[in-house]
Structure 1
Amino acid sequence: MTISVFAPASIGNLNVGFDVLGLAVKPIDGTLLGDVVAIESATENKLIVIGEFANKLPGKATDNIVWHCLELYNLALEKAQQPVKKVQLTLDKKMPVGSGLGSSACSVVAALVALNEFYQQYFDEKTLLFMMGAMEAKISGSLHYDNVAPCYLGGLQLMVPDKHVISRSLPQFDNCYYVMAYPGINVSTKAARDVLPKQYSRADAITFGQNLATFVDACHRNDKQQAFSVLKDVLAEPYRQHLLPKFIEAKDYLSAQGHLAVGISGSGPTLFCVCDSLEKAQNTALWLQTNYLQTDSGFVHVCQVDLTGAERLPA
């Protein structure tokens, strides 16, 4: 029997929460914006990579993050003195690499959830989330859960400094649309982190803390106007926006149209724009299709919040 698991795209940071906020999103047209990992019994461990963006990954299976997930999961089984089986994993890479949509998180989450399903959910949710964080740290060089947590758990997630909790779900706004525009170029997470300053001013620190606290409070009070009025990035966007061709011009135009918020998804280059009506979202998508995309591999999707997160697909 083959088990297939889908893991959705996510918006890391969400402007106001650098490394501590993440939002899972799904296109309203039913497109699977994310990765799928299938697992089945085999005579030897094997990884097959397919999909639109498969050619952007390492050619050697043992260099792939999904293979590393298999190694980590098997090691955890051995430590728990559980039998380890041979499996074949198939990664359907639907998510562009270096897109700012949590591409690596999608592969990590789909792989580990598929493995856990194969082993009849041997490890609990928190243990799996720890594994996902370890894999993300292996890729980016630092531990952060703002993509893997929403990708795995769904919804809007706030990372908390408690290793027994890791993240908490925040109330989100059901009547919002998130237009995601990937221009078709890549920006590495490491490069995007390297441009950030080593220290920030007291004023920026105060603004960051005030905006994040206000956003979280507004989410709990269901105050959409207040929440999105503070959805501003003072820590990363000022330093990263020059890495993203056409971003500044696009943000200026979209902000002038009265949208709820515009920002960089994760470390970019994907731009996200929050709209309060489907008509606005569709018009925005058309504008971005013409004015922000730069290669044939670029795309625009009108999305809403994915409340499910990673899920097992029907057989």
Structure 2
Amino acid sequence: MTGLSETLSESLSGSSTPGLVAYAPASIGNMAAGFDLMGAALAPLDGRLLGDLVQVARAPESSFRVTGPFAAALADDRRPNLVLRARDFFVEAVRAAGGEAGPFAITLEKRLPVSSGLGSSASSIVATLVGLQALCGDPLRGSELLDLAGRAEGFTSGDRHLDNVAPSLLGGLQLMVPGREGAPAARRLPWPSDLLLVVVHPDCQLATADSRKALPERPGWGEAVDFAGNLASLVHALHTRDRALLARCLRDPIVEVHRAPLVPGFRAAQAAAMGLGALGCSLSGSGPSVFAVVEDEAQASAIASAMQIAFEEAGLGSQGWVCALDPEGARVLTPGSRHPWREAHP
């Protein structure tokens, strides 16, 4: 599906109250070398929108509903949906600035699998905030939206983490950096235009909170130094276009070893990707999804197939995508919208 889903498109066109639909792309958190500090937004080469859609409209009273292929996965969660958390944070921020916002009618089309390592919660949160921001005439600054997204994300991960919400909101490959007076901030890193990302999601769930429980309370000094040096070297390699150094740094020296046993077939999928020439392969976010960095589309297809076979042999079905970085991040869609990467690279 390349544009608006039929559900949201028909709902929007038939509504008596003007509204809009926002989209936020899936993302890779941690990005191998950058635990909690680096993330990438995903754009499938075939033009599909890999992310959640959120319709927002002004209404006489607040309402919320969930549709989409993964709506049922949220039905048993008794916590307030993260869309509602994001809405409440947005309304509070606008009112604190002297404005008015709401009530809103909101529909989430849940298109990303939950607990997948694809930034599923971040996509819902960011699409909500971007939709409300556009509907209300852009009352908040971009840095404020990033802060609100991080706060909402913290309800699932246990703390404010920006490595999924930042790329989903801003696009590209984002590095979390110190902001002024403790405010969250991110900077886009350069990424070689020929490098693609193979992403494979095995048919299982791994909640971020559970994945974090597998980590030690604190790393040793040797691990900490290795992590810092590897991340700094990766950033240097991207800025200097040092492909050989980049390949050496596309690794996770600090958490992968603890999380790998939680994902059946991961080591086999990783070995398959590296054996076919991937520059790097690791868990996407906290897993169970896995990503590999590759140098051309033909190679990407072969690696995707090999990774999926590895998961099949571990007893898991899977979905796979060959992606570029999504350069735009979250945006408001119109009927018939296609992904900008494919339009720019026909």
Asked whether the two chains share a fold, i.e. TM above 0.5, the reply is yes
Q: After superposition, what is the alpha-carbon deviation per residue over 1:95-114, rounded to whole angstroms, capped at 9, x for unaligned?
A: 00000010000000000111
2 CA distance for matches of 1:24 and 1:98?
17
In structure 1, what residue type is equivalent to 2:81?
A: N
Q: After superposition, what is the alpha-carbon deviation per residue over 1:60-118, rounded to whole angstroms, capped at 9, x for unaligned?
A: 89721101111111112222221233211110100000000100000000001111011
2:275 matches 1:256: yes
Q: 1:40 aligns with which of 48, 53, 57?
A: 57
2:328 matches 1:308: yes
User: In the alignment, is the contact (CA less than 8 A) between 2:273 and 2:306 conserved in 1?
Assistant: no
2 CA distance for matches of 1:291 and 1:226?
28
CA-based RMSD of the aligned residues comes to: 1.5
Higher mean alpha-carbon deviation, 284-293 vs 49-58, is at: 284-293
Find the counterpart in structure 2 of residue 231 from structure 1.
Answer: 250
User: In the alignment, is the contact (CA less than 8 A) between 1:195 and 1:239 conserved in 2?
Assistant: yes
In structure 1, what residue type is equivalent to 2:40?
A: L
Find the counterpart in structure 2 of residue 138 from structure 1.
Answer: 155
2:226 matches 1:198: no
> Secondary structure at 1:209's aligned position in 2?
helix
2 CA distance for matches of 1:15 and 1:59?
32
Find the counterpart in structure 2 of residue 63 from structure 1.
Answer: 80
Find the counterpart in structure 2 of residue 286 from structure 1.
Answer: 305
2:20 matches 1:3: yes
Superposition pairs of residues 144-155 of structure 1, within 5 angstroms: 144-155=161-172
Q: After superposition, what is the alpha-carbon deviation per residue over 1:39-60, rounded to whole angstroms, capped at 9, x for unaligned?
A: 1121210111110101011358
Find the counterpart in structure 1 of residue 96 from structure 2.
Answer: 79
> Secondary structure at 1:63's aligned position in 2?
coil
What displacement does 1:6 show?
Answer: 0.5
Q: Give TM-score, length-normalised by structure 2.
A: 0.87
What displacement does 1:25 show?
Answer: 1.0
2:230 matches 1:211: yes
Find the counterpart in structure 2 of residue 277 from structure 1.
Answer: 296
In structure 1, what residue type is equivalent to 2:277?
A: G
Q: After superposition, what is the alpha-carbon deviation per residue over 1:189-237, rounded to whole angstroms, capped at 9, x for unaligned?
A: 0011111011212221111111111100111112222112111111110
What displacement does 1:14 show?
Answer: 0.8
> Secondary structure at 1:160's aligned position in 2?
strand
In structure 1, what residue type is equivalent to 2:321?
A: H
User: In the alignment, is the contact (CA less than 8 A) between 1:177 and 1:304 conserved in 2?
Assistant: yes
Q: After superposition, what is the alpha-carbon deviation per residue over 1:131-188, rounded to whole angstroms, capped at 9, x for unaligned?
A: 0010011221111100000000000111012234611111111101111000010000
User: In the alignment, is the contact (CA less than 8 A) between 1:48 and 1:61 conserved in 2?
Assistant: no
What displacement does 1:37 show?
Answer: 0.5
2 CA distance for matches of 1:61 and 1:33?
26
CA 1:144–1:62 in 2, change beyond 3 Å: closer, same or farther?
A: closer
2:114 matches 1:94: no
> Secondary structure at 2:167's aligned position in 1?
helix
In structure 2, what residue type is equivalent to 1:254?
A: A
Find the counterpart in structure 1 of residue 3 from structure 2.
Answer: none
2:67 matches 1:50: yes
CA 1:100–1:60 in 2, change beyond 3 Å: closer, same or farther?
A: closer
CA 1:292–1:62 in 2, change beyond 3 Å: closer, same or farther?
A: closer
Q: What is the aligned residue count?
A: 314
2:40 matches 1:23: yes
> Secondary structure at 1:169's aligned position in 2?
strand
Identity of aligned residues (%): 36
What displacement does 1:265 show?
Answer: 0.1
Higher mean alpha-carbon deviation, 252-261 vs 48-57, is at: 252-261
What displacement does 1:295 show?
Answer: 5.1
User: In the alignment, is the contact (CA less than 8 A) between 1:47 and 1:61 conserved in 2?
Assistant: no
1 CA distance for matches of 2:206 and 2:217?
20
Stretches of structure 1 that go unaligned for 5 or more consecutive residues are: none
2 CA distance for matches of 1:141 and 1:55?
23
User: In the alignment, is the contact (CA less than 8 A) between 1:176 and 1:304 conserved in 2?
Assistant: yes
